[in-house]
Amino acid sequence: MVASNLTIDLAAIRSNWRGIDSYSPANCETAAVVKANAYGLGMEKTLRTLKCAGAKSFFVALAEEGSEARKFLPGNEEIFVLSGHMEGDSGLLSRNRLTPVLNSAAQAIRHLEQLPGHPFGVQLDTGMNRLGMGMNEFADVRERVLIAKPVLAMSHLACADEPEHPMNSRQLSEFKAATFDLGLRRSLAATGGVLLGPEYHFDLCRPGIGLFGGLPYAAAEPVVHLELPVIQVRELRSGESVGYGAAWTADAPAKIATASGGYADGILRAMGRRGRVFAKDIACKIVGRVSMDLLTIDVSDLEEVPSTLQLLGDHQGVDEIAEAAGTIGYEILTGIGIRCNRIYRGEIGN
């Protein structure tokens, strides 16, 4: 067996949800954003764990993801669909009791015509210009929408991971001005917004990445551990090269381990430049090019090469390896491939 093992710590997910929940007062609900297969960690165990931790509302990106989520949340948990009500979604939305967050006047009209009486939220754009109705667009459908009683009015912050960024207070003012008189439950904050403070919390917070151990929730417990099996170890003489393009050359005698893992597992080519893996607490450099299924590591400093090397874990989290590859933790987590064995550690409940 040479597939790499992705261990997912359910107790850490639970503790991160509760940690984030403790930032907001009891009358503010903490939901859980689980789009993209729960940030790559798998829906079933992740959703059950978050539900046991206390989450009652969940957000996914697509109606299809919502129908997958509903299998593991068969009760009255609310599942919001952030892409809203797309053409052809009515059946999925109604069969799975999903709550679309309507993003445009066209979606609002479609929803009210095709699924009258079916719950929905609305997203207002307060400056990010990605999803949501602008104020003029909302004004056009405001009356029809409000009569149908949306369950949530929300918006999304563009720069919440930079607390000093002027966009934050600008979007906050826009959001307040647009929603203060609607009489609806309101939501503005994702993980970054929760950390900006109570003004940003409103009635419901929508953390995602922080639950799974990523920045900007620096206090997060690490959730994922990725172990790569070592397939073989070879001794190189000074001047010998490693891998495709002979991209790395030993300038002294070296010991190189070939480990199982590559692009197909979400290990990026860009990690070949500054990436490291760990043998217990000893860091070993990735050398040469990462290939599709393999990577090569300088293990010259190890007395004994272990059977697996750790790419993600307590010594190096998703954000550190992301930094080495010039990306962010979100991309690392959601990119971990389906070929990795997902092993869940800890109990779902408690």
Catalytic-labelled residue, pool 35, 45, 330, 344: 35
State how far the Cα of 113 lies from the Cα of 91, in Å rounded to an integer. Answer: 13
- Position 209 contacts ligand PLP (CB under 6 A): yes
Lookup result for tokens 């987590």: 333
35 is catalytic: yes
Report which DSSP code applies to 312.
Answer: E
Provide the token pair at 66.
């919502």
- Position 196 contacts ligand PLP (CB under 6 A): no
State how far the Cα of 53 lies from the Cα of 49, in Å rounded to an integer. Answer: 6
244 is catalytic: yes
- The partner residues of 282 in beta bridges, in order of sequence, read 279
Query: Looking at 14, 111, 206, 289, which residue binds ligand PLP (CB under 6 A)?
Result: 206
Do 127 and 174 contact (CB within 8 A), yes or no? yes
The residue with its CB nearest to ligand PLP is 208
**Shortest reach from residue 61's CB to ligand PLP, in Å:** 7
Kindly write out the interface string for residues 210-239 of this chain, putting x where it contacts ligand PLP by CB under 6 A and - elsewhere: x-----------------------------
- Position 190 contacts ligand PLP (CB under 6 A): yes
State how far the Cα of 223 lies from the Cα of 205, in Å rounded to an integer. Answer: 21
**Shortest reach from residue 294's CB to ligand PLP, in Å:** 31
Angle at CA 147, nearest 5°, toward 142 and 152?
Answer: 75
Do 277 and 297 contact (CB within 8 A), yes or no? yes
Query: Looking at 46, 191, 260, 316, which residue binds ligand PLP (CB under 6 A)?
Result: 191
- Position 201 contacts ligand PLP (CB under 6 A): no
Residues marked active site are found at 35, 244
The residues binding ligand PLP (CB under 6 A) are 33, 35, 82, 156, 190-192, 206-210
